[in-house]
Amino acid sequence: FFGALVAAEDVREGKPAPEVFLVAAERLGVPPARCVVLEDAVAGVQAALAAGMRCVALTTTRPAHELAAAHRVVASLREVRAEDLRRLALGMGETGR
């Protein structure tokens, strides 16, 4: 299902450092600016943004106001369509900021 995996052992610093996402983008051969991160933690949103990536935050573990820096905040993945992710990856998606 996944084109690349990155584990804690693959990076020096964990989130909110962007390294984990930058390594994933490199392994996938995709520029960070064309990546969309799905996150449910404040540190993950911070890491995604620091990596220069788009971020969709899920309110499964934190309230929406804590994740508001993300480009989009949703309660469930059911609210996100493949077209939404494509538009975000192309820099055309909505922003929650």
Per-residue pLDDT of 15-55, as tens digits, reads 999 999 999 999 999 999 999 999 999 999 999 999 999 99
Give the distance, in angstroms, between the CA of residue 23 and the centroid of all CA atoms in the same chain: 13
Model confidence at 8, pLDDT cuts 50, 70, 90, reads very high
Residue 3 has pLDDT above 80, yes or no: yes
Structural domain boundaries in the chain: 8-89
Overall CATH class of domain 8-89? alpha beta
Q: What is the mean pLDDT of the chain?
A: 94
Could you read off the pLDDT of 51-86 as tens digits, one per residue?
Answer: 999 999 999 999 999 999 999 999 999 999 999 999
Quickly list DSSP for 59-81: TTSS-GGGGTTSSEEES-GGG--
